[in-house]
Structure 1
Amino acid sequence: MTKRAWWLLGLNVLIPGSAQLLAGNRKLGRFGVVASFVFILIVVVLIVLSFAAPMVLLTVGSSTLGLWAIALILAFYAVVWLVLTVNAWQLANLGRATPAGRTVVAAFSAVVLVVVAGTAGYGAYVATTANSFLSDVFISAPTKEPINGRYNILLLGGDAGADRDGLRPDSITVASIDAETGEAVLIGLPRNLELAPFVAGSPLADKYPEGYGAYGCDVDVCLLNSIYTEAELVTPELYPDAADSGSSPGIEAMRDAVEGITGLGIQYYALIEMQGFSDLVDSLGGVTINVEEAVPIHADAEFTIVAEWIQPGVQVMDGYHALWYARSRHDTTDYDRMERQRKLQQAVIEQFTPSNVLTKVQAIAAAGSKVVTTDIPQGSLPYFVNLASKTRALPIGSLELIPANDVVPEDPDFEYVRELVAAALVPTVVDDGAE
């Protein structure tokens, strides 16, 4: 009887349903065997697609319908394996096996049941969690086409401090990505840039024809990052359709300004609240940064008292330290902060891969859906995930619109700025030795 139990439960592990075909309900056995082979076929097809057509898998894994299908399939197989294993225990008649054999066989099959059915059930839970996260963060909208072969995404890091009205974007970056190769350039704009021009046709172009703040503005200071605050809190009526397109008046005003400054068309934006960024880094297990100079962590709201230092060298930072690395102001300039922010952004792009995102999807969903807003359509995710894999394999270019590059924030030459941007986006020529 002990050998019989081993055979039946062992076969149930190898091919669920086979135990019933041999010694039980053959109708249930046929159903189990067919279901098992269908599952194996699905796995084989997925493996083939991962090599032959990865975009198909990405499309399924980032769509509401695809994620629900994954969840239902995994939940179905979890139930099937549970029913077949419990029935196999009954067929094995463990009560008639030797005491030692009974214990070993029961323990073995129980462990396998927990591993197999539990993994399938957990996978179903992860799929539904991912679907909820994607639906909360990304919008339903048509996909936009590249402009001159590039996607230009406005990245805003917002900080709603106690000393300011509402949120204000202290980190302003354009990620310009070649739509075919994935080659990317991060263009950093200083938050204190003055006289920002607005793209033609913008509501604020009529209000500020000589540039933002040339003759004053409607908020306390007339800097680039103040445009968000003014449009959001003072003149939201200038952008009445912003909410319907998954945006806000402040974001649309910043988009118009950045387009006017750089000469680039901005298809999408992503806004991350800074505290939320800290939570997001924690959810992904930290980020590795090569710190060139010690960076202070402040102990007061005025950024004058140092509580501790982030020491030079390669540091694996949690969200708290990564946030301070990006925003520290003590004995430093805005341009130093911009450089650190860009290094952090590059580290995030390079280190946060689809594999570690998938393994931590629950923590990411808990942190990200509360703090990330974007107008990137959910239907575009497969394309951008595939493009991001190309970007990670290439060096990421960087252009800072700061005095070191002869850009004077107090009186910028915007024609020169646009020349710098155009030059930075010239594709890198790789010499492969071909004639």
Structure 2
Amino acid sequence: MRRERKKKKWLKWLLIGVTILLLSIGAYIFTVYQSLNTATEKMHEPIEREASKKRTEQVKFNEQDPFSVLMLGVDERDDDQGRSDTMIVMTVNPKEETTKLLSIPRDTMTEIVGKGIDDKINHAYAFGGIPMAMDTVENFLDIPIDYYVQVNMEGFEDIVDAVGGVTVSNSFAFDYDGYSFPEGELTLDGQKALSFSRMRYEDPDGDFGRQERQRQIIQGVVREGASINSLWNYGNIFNALGNNIKTNLTFDEMVDIQSEYRAAASNFEQTSIQNGYGERINNVYYYIVPDNEIQSIQASLKDHLDI
């Protein structure tokens, strides 16, 4: 009888402990959800732009439609809106479980849609902000650009620090901004990651080398941000994201992407425009992409978007 009472008492305290644990987890999840919702509201910045003529139907995340995002790294300035020195097009295909990152050299010569001139592709942002940049990249690649993510590069180091730093693979040793970057695997804090991603003049591959380092940093942020360790630092992460990122993705759309596209987000493929050449026109340097090269890239992206 005494043994049975002890057993019931033990079960009682076990149930109380489990209940408290579940309530604590529920409160924690609710707090995380509220913080994420606040951050995404701060990040959300819709744009006035006509619907893409390259899509017949709007992307449906609940049906796992492939979609594209233009990622812009912008150095914001006091006297103007700055230049989009980093331009990366991300395409996501959940059926193939792959995400492709295509870096576009900032000096690429193309038509600036809405301006009526041929110029460097990164000037589209300076001329007409996000809408003109999206329209110009969409015309250049001949694919729909569904969404954008704009990152303030000056604040990017806050994002890297918030996820606890990133690990990258450095192909050659170099010094930049007062930092030394030896060859091999490196763990970088925010300031070092920003410097690592900006160096290009000492790189034998020039802007292509810089693009590859930028993609590594982005992948590192995604990888660390998705790790279990980041759950305990969600406040700093969400705050850094809210302060330094703008996007036309809504909170609900981000939740849908996290739910429906998780496998694709963990499998990155890096691509770049390699077969172009530099040329000076009216004493200005441009990067010229031959027709056969751009057609090959367009075909690859269309295939990945199931177009």
Q: Shorter-chain-normalised TM-score: which range? A: 0.7 to 0.9
| Aligned counterparts, 1:307-326, within 5 A | 307-326=178-197
Q: CA deviation at 1:137?
A: 2.2
1:188-209 Cα deviation digits (max 9, x unpaired): 1111122x224xxx5x1xx41x
| Aligned counterparts, 1:345-384, within 5 A | 345-353=218-226, 355-384=228-257
Cross-structure match for 1:390: 263
Give the distance between the partners of 1:376 and 1:174, measured in 2 at CA.
15
Q: Could you tell me which runs of 5 or more consecutive residues in structure 1 were left unpaired when the two chains were aligned.
A: 1-5, 17-35, 41-76, 82-114, 213-222, 232-249, 299-306, 429-435
| Aligned counterparts, 1:23-38, within 5 A | none
Cross-structure match for 1:168: 83
Residue identity over aligned pairs, in percent, reads 22
Q: CA deviation at 1:414?
A: 6.0
Give the distance between the partners of 1:295 and 1:130, measured in 2 at CA.
38
Instruction: Identify which of 29, 32, 43 aligns with 1:126.
Output: 32
Q: Which has the higher mean CA deviation after the structures are superposed, 364-373 or 339-348?
A: 339-348
Give the distance between the partners of 1:414 and 1:337, measured in 2 at CA.
22
Equivalent pair of 2:138/2:144 in contact (CA under 8 Å): yes
Cα pair distance change 1:125/1:186, threshold 3 Å: closer
Q: CA deviation at 1:348?
A: 3.2
Would you say how many aligned residue pairs link Structure 1 and Structure 2?
A: 281
1:191 partner amino acid: R
Give the distance between the partners of 1:293 and 1:335, measured in 2 at CA.
14
Question: Structure 2-normalised TM-score?
Answer: 0.77
| Aligned counterparts, 1:294-313, within 5 A | 294-298=173-177, 307-313=178-184
Q: CA deviation at 1:380?
A: 1.7
Cα pair distance change 1:356/1:391, threshold 3 Å: farther
Q: CA deviation at 1:296?
A: 2.3
SS of the residue aligned with 1:360?
A: helix
Q: CA deviation at 1:123?
A: 4.5
Give the distance between the partners of 1:179 and 1:392, measured in 2 at CA.
8
Give the distance between the partners of 2:289 and 2:161, measured in 1 at CA.
40
Give the distance between the partners of 2:127 and 2:27, measured in 1 at CA.
49
Cross-structure match for 2:59: 145
Q: CA deviation at 1:347?
A: 3.1
Cross-structure match for 1:178: 93
Instruction: Identify which of 331, 343, 366 aligns with 2:216.
Output: 343
Cross-structure match for 1:190: 105
1:235-280 Cα deviation digits (max 9, x unpaired): xxxxxxxxxxxxxxx0111001101111111000001111222111
Q: CA deviation at 1:211?
A: 2.2
1:228 partner amino acid: Y
1:412 partner amino acid: I
Give the distance between the partners of 1:331 and 1:397, measured in 2 at CA.
25
Cα pair distance change 1:10/1:178, threshold 3 Å: same
Give the distance between the partners of 1:344 and 1:282, measured in 2 at CA.
12
Equivalent pair of 2:107/2:121 in contact (CA under 8 Å): yes
1:127 partner amino acid: Y
Question: Structure 1-normalised TM-score?
Answer: 0.56
Equivalent pair of 2:94/2:261 in contact (CA under 8 Å): no
Q: CA deviation at 1:139?
A: 6.2
Give the distance between the partners of 1:268 and 1:286, measured in 2 at CA.
27
1:136 partner amino acid: K
2:118 partner amino acid: G
Point out which structure has higher relative CO (alpha carbons under 8 A, 6+ apart): 2
RMSD (CA atoms): 3.4
1:288-331 Cα deviation digits (max 9, x unpaired): 10111123231xxxxxxxx2211111111111111111012452
Give the distance between the partners of 1:420 and 1:145, measured in 2 at CA.
24
1:14 aligns with 2:43: no
Q: Could you tell me which runs of 5 or more consecutive residues in structure 2 were left unpaired when the two chains were aligned.
A: 1-5, 48-56, 280-285
Give the distance between the partners of 1:286 and 1:122, measured in 2 at CA.
24
Cα pair distance change 1:408/1:182, threshold 3 Å: farther
Give the distance between the partners of 2:253 and 2:229, measured in 1 at CA.
21
Cα pair distance change 1:417/1:330, threshold 3 Å: closer
Larger Rg: 1
Q: Which has the higher helix share?
A: 1
1:211 aligns with 2:118: yes
Equivalent pair of 2:99/2:265 in contact (CA under 8 Å): no
Give the distance between the partners of 1:290 and 1:152, measured in 2 at CA.
27
Cross-structure match for 2:150: 271
1:77-114 Cα deviation digits (max 9, x unpaired): 8xxx6xxxxxxxxxxxxxxxxxxxxxxxxxxxxxxxxx
1:400 aligns with 2:276: no
Equivalent pair of 1:399/1:421 in contact (CA under 8 Å): no
